[in-house]
Amino acid sequence: MIEVHKFKDISLRGATVIDGFPTIGLVSTITANYLIGALRLDQISALDSPDFPPVSMIYASKPKFPARIYADEKVKVVVFLSEFTPSPSLARPIANTILSWARENECSRIISPQGFPVAEYEGEELEVYGVGSNDHARDEMKKMHIKQLETGIITGVSSILLNEGRRIDFDVICLLAEVRPKIPDARAAAKVIEVIDRLLPTIRIDVKPLYEEAERIEEYIKTLRAQAKPAEPTLPSPMYG
């Protein structure tokens, strides 16, 4: 069971909800954090459950629940943010909580970013694919020229949101970004935010700072790999990746 503790009561009719529970490459987490900062969203609620890890996140000397809801009434954007990666057993309760909350607050749709692992994409353009729960969601992606995934498997919170969205005819869009799974992929998150920016006419987000951060992360990883190369022949193959 997941309980929602409300701190502020605001009108979010017609708002878009962003799922920020961690996935591969931390695309959803980076996306959620960047949106909260860029749009100056305010915390309005917290999520709690006996199945959540017993931790308190301390920011500005204040304790916070490990899963929270941020929003803004003017831009009509809601972000669910979590510092922990949910276990598979929590995927359904979390997804149902997000969906129920969105419907109760008369939000218009849910966007769930997720990464999927690929080999190195150095020098290549990152792709972001979309999957819609119903015809309306798919039509919206067509209008915005978002490539749609034709065949594949989606897991975790996103999968439940898509399935339940189809069942009750509620708009859910899952955005799948190509990521390198072993590092926080800020570049993939920036691509996802660009797509979200196209889908939401009420916001304008500058992702240049995130791309700059991505470049710093990539340079750091390249340096580490270069330093490790002389020792690679002596390492067992399972350590590569």
> What pLDDT is attached to residue 31?
92
Residue 46, domain extent? 3-239
CATH code for the domain in which residue 55 is found: 3.40.50.10900
* Whole-number Å distance between alpha carbons of 25 and 115: 6
Rounded-to-integer distance, Cα 33 and Cα 167, Å: 30
The single residue listed with the structure tokens 């999520």 is: 47
d(CA 18, CA 71): 10
From CA 154, how far away is CA 160, in angstroms rounded?
A: 9
Global confidence as pTM: 0.87
CB atoms within 10 A of CB 227: 9
Q: How confident is the model at residue 234 (pLDDT cuts 50, 70, 90)?
A: very low
Other beta carbons within 10 angstroms of residue 241's beta carbon come to 7
Residue 236 pLDDT class (50, 70, 90 cuts): very low
Number of structural domains found in the chain: 1
What's the rounded Cα separation, in Å, for the pair 44 and 51?
A: 22
* Cβ atoms 60, 21 nearer than 8 A: no
